[in-house]
Amino acid sequence: MTDATITPVPSPPKTPLTEADPRTKKRNAAEKRFQYYGIAAIAVGLFFLIVLMVSIVRSGLPAFTQAVVSVDFTLTEEQYDEAEAQLFKTAAYQSYFNAVLREELRERGLDVDFDEAAIERILGKTGGTLREFFRANEDQLGQPVSFELSASSRVDGYFKGRVTREALQDSRFLQQSDLDLVDALADAGIVFSALNWNFITGADSGVDNPGGAGIGASVVGSFFMMLVVLFLSLPIGVAASIYLEEFAPQNKFTDLIEVNISNLAAVPSIVFGILGLAVFIQFMHLPQSAPLVGGLVLALMTLPTIIISTRASLKAVPPSIREAALGVGASKMQAVFHHVLPLAMPGILTGTIIGLAQALGETAPLLLIGMVGFVARGYPDGFVAGFTDPNSAMPAQIYTWAARADVSFYEKAWGGIIILLVFLLTMNAIAIILRRRFERRW
């Protein structure tokens, strides 16, 4: 049966094992090279991550500070009455303020002179702010009040290095000579960088006021949307998974549903946006820009994620637990709801949080349902009221800023991203902790 015709092959020259022959050396070199490709690939990936992080942090951190001018200002009652009697009331306040500022500079031995126009370029119109304050707080008249007034966005940019002396061209917004004044004020400690609370808590401010733009309002909007997503997709998702996993018969139909769920997870988000626009706004006439609509669309997108992770955690509960429950006389319903579901809960929650985190960062569908370009007025009372009042959302707000012509908004967009990422990081950290905490091996 052996059809072997053995002809001795010229065996390669015998080399001791401890010595690599030339061919082995070559192969080992190829091996090393291949390994370096792998390391290089990972290094490139991590390099991109670092570049991304560095550019976010570097460009975004300045959004959290703001150049302010701090002045102790005393307005006597006489001055107040005098100003209120004039035709240009705010101009009067402004000249009081300028006088105080001059005095302040002289006191500190700084001999710089300025005209009113320069102050206006640096600080904007201060008179209005002052007047508003004193009209509201007449009891403060005659007492020193400490004012912190935000500098204009260009001065702010000068502080943050965005605007440089060399590049600055004199314009009605800012002039070279103003920078001397700013330097002097900074030396005197009158102008300095302070934490910009308004950015964290405020609302968007409109196209021509980058300094006053804040993300707070859209955080509230995002929060409303997440509530909608949570209360829609969690119950539906869990119910659907329980049905599919525990009760549904194994047939062609459930198989089809299963395939569709995994396909649904891969449908581009923008398609969900169009769908939302057509169904909720065009057809059901829900209001545009409302967190309710945004939440509905995002809930649709989150559903597959929740179903997939819920089913995975239901599957992970060993059948012995079901059998034990059924064995002591529980109905199938009781077995699932009293015994299986509690055990699967950590997994479900983890999946839900991750799904929510995805939804939180989703932007494209929000563009279509009009959650961009919206400027909240009357914040904070105007819209916090409900789900159907127009609002923005974090990612949409970031997009709005990024799409504006004024470059000062870019800083705000990056800053918004930092806040968004902090939220995402927190959610993911919670998910990871949950998983670690409740990880169980059967």
Partner 1 sequence: MALIFNTVEFFNLYPASEFFTSLSWAPSFSGRGGSSELGLLPLLWGTLYISIVALIVAVPIGLFSAIYLSEYASSNVRSFAKPLLGILAGIPTIVYGLFALLTVGPLLVSVFGDGGWLGVSWQGGGRAVMTAGLVMGIMLIPFVSSLSDDIINAVPQSMRDGSYGLGATKSETIRQVVLPAALPGIAGAILLAASRAIGETMIVVLGAGAAARLSLNPFEAMTTVTAKIVSQLTGDSDFASPEALVAFALGMSLFVITLTLNVIALYIVRKYREQYD
Partner 2 sequence: MDDQRIIERTTVMKDIKIAATNVNVFYGDTHAIKDVSVGIEDKAVTAFIGPSGCGKSTFLRCLNRMNDTIDIARIEGKIELDGEDIYDKRVDPVQLRAKVGMVFQKPNPFPKSIYDNVAYGPRIHGLSRNKAELDEIVEKSLRRGAIWNEVKDRLDQPGTGLSGGQQQRLCIARAVATEPEVLLMDEPCSALDPIATAQIEELIDDLKQRYSVVIVTHSMQQAARVSQKTAFFHLGDLVEYGETGHIFTNPEDSRTESYITGRIG
Contacts with partner 1, residue ranges (CB under 8 A) = 27-28, 30-31, 33-35, 37-42, 44-46, 48-49, 51-52, 55-56, 59, 259, 262-263, 266-271, 273-275, 277-279, 282-283, 357, 360-364, 367-368, 370, 372-373, 395, 398-399, 402-403, 410, 413-414, 417, 420-421, 424, 428
If contact means CB under 5 to 8 A according to the sort of partner, which of partner 1, partner 2, none does residue 85 touch?
none
State the chain's maximal CA–CA distance in angstroms. 124
Whether the CB-CB separation of 217 and 380 falls below 8 Å is answered with yes
Q: What count of other Cβ atoms lies within 10 Å of the Cβ of residue 329?
A: 8
Whether the CB-CB separation of 412 and 213 falls below 8 Å is answered with yes
If contact means CB under 5 to 8 A according to the sort of partner, which of partner 2, partner 1, none does residue 410 touch?
partner 1
Shortest separation between residue 60's beta carbon and partner 2, angstroms: 42
Nearest residue (CB) to partner 2, 9 versus 385: 9
If contact means CB under 5 to 8 A according to the sort of partner, which of partner 1, partner 2, none does residue 12 touch?
partner 2
Considering just the CA atoms, what is the radius of gyration of the chain in Å? Answer: 33
Length of the chain: 442
Q: Nearest-5° angle of CA 153, CA 98, CA 118?
A: 45
Say how far residue 315 (Cα) sits from the centre of its chain: 34
Give the strand pairing for 65-74 and 144-150: antiparallel
If contact means CB under 5 to 8 A according to the sort of partner, which of partner 2, partner 1, none does residue 442 touch?
none
Give the 3-state secondary structure percentages of the chain, helix then strand then coil, rounded to 5. Answer: 65, 5, 30
Q: CA nearest 363: which of 297, 429, 267, 286?
A: 297
Nearest residue (CB) to partner 1, 98 versus 289: 289
Shortest separation between residue 34's beta carbon and partner 2, angstroms: 14
Report the C-alpha gap between 204 and 206 in whole angstroms. 6
Whether the CB-CB separation of 199 and 215 falls below 8 Å is answered with yes
If contact means CB under 5 to 8 A according to the sort of partner, which of partner 1, partner 2, none does residue 117 touch?
none
Nearest residue (CB) to partner 2, 16 versus 38: 16
Site string for partner 2, 13-52 (x = CB under 8 A): ---xxxxxx-xx--xx------------------------
Report the C-alpha gap between 66 and 157 in whole angstroms. 9
The count of chain residues that interact with partner 2, using the rule CB under 8 A, is 20
Report the C-alpha gap between 102 and 185 in whole angstroms. 10
Shortest separation between residue 33's beta carbon and partner 1, angstroms: 8
Whether the CB-CB separation of 204 and 400 falls below 8 Å is answered with yes
If contact means CB under 5 to 8 A according to the sort of partner, which of partner 1, partner 2, none does residue 403 touch?
partner 1
Enumerate residues 187-206 that contact partner 2 by CB under 8 A. Answer: none
Shortest separation between residue 205's beta carbon and partner 2, angstroms: 59
Nearest residue (CB) to partner 2, 9 versus 266: 9
Q: Which two tokens stand for residue 339?
A: 């015994």
Shortest separation between residue 259's beta carbon and partner 1, angstroms: 7
Q: List interacting residues with partner 2 (CB under 8 A).
A: 1-7, 9, 11-12, 16-21, 23-24, 27-28
